[in-house]
Amino acid sequence: MSTPHNEAKPGEIAKTVLMPGDPLRAKFIAERYLEDVKQVNSVRNMLAFTGYYKGKRVTIMGSGMGIPSIGIYSYELYTYYDVERIIRIGSAGSTTKDLKLFDLVIAQGASTNSSWSEQYHLGGTYSAIASYPVMEEAINASKKFGYRFKVGQVLSSDNFYGEEWEPWANMGILACEMEAYGLYCVAAQLHKEALTILTISDSLVEHAETTAEEREKSFTNMMDVALECIKE
């Protein structure tokens, strides 16, 4: 069934969904990698495409920016479209000199300054982690391709500007982004699978950054890795 945010018909969404934040990145991935592609959503310009990669059916859909946005889209995909696995692919700012521009981060867990998990009435602080089977697949794919990557914790921040990242880095946080915590919480709530794979677009330590065009079209290593993790 369709939702207020997704016009896809039953059966038009695959069991695995790759979710970049930018819907134009979703379009780029679909056009670059997939065969027999069909656009299945354009509501609010949050583009979604379903096609085949190496014979495996997959959907690519934008998530928008921030935990509330990916929280809505992931909940609907898991609940109304029977999606089993969502892999967020996005950009992040590194908080360590060990990560350079274009390096990958496989987010084993996510911390946050958001109050997102309060909705679950847990009486404590929820530790949001990735699903191990898909994380292991991503690690193996990264090794197979020979890509530079690290596995560890990221910060899902509600702040794009002005985040005090140094205390988080002192606790071992590798990079800052804005969505992983929400995705991991929704997946845990619904007993589904989730992973976040990030490309370093900025170094908060060395004050280096990529261009907007590079963020849309040049972060192909994480796309290669994510596409190796399709679950049919």
- Whether the Cβ atoms of residue 107 and residue 180 lie closer than 8 Å to each other: yes
Mean pLDDT for 17-36 is: 97
At residue 7, the pLDDT reads 97
% of the chain at pLDDT higher than 90 = 93
Tokens of residue 176, six digits: 């800052």
98 is catalytic: no
What domains can be seen in the chain, in order of their start residue?
16-227 (3.40.50.1580)
Among 22, 98, 202, 224, which one carries the catalytic annotation? 202
At residue 212, the pLDDT reads 82
Residue type, 56: K
How do residues 140-188 score in pLDDT, each as one tens digit? 999 999 999 999 999 999 999 987 899 999 999 999 999 999 999 999 9
pLDDT at 205 over 80: yes
Predicted TM-score (pTM) above 0.95 = yes
List all residues 6 or more positions away from 154 whose beta carbon is below 8 Å from its beta carbon.
92, 105, 107, 109, 110, 111, 173, 174, 175, 176, 177, 180, 196, 198
At residue 122, the pLDDT reads 97
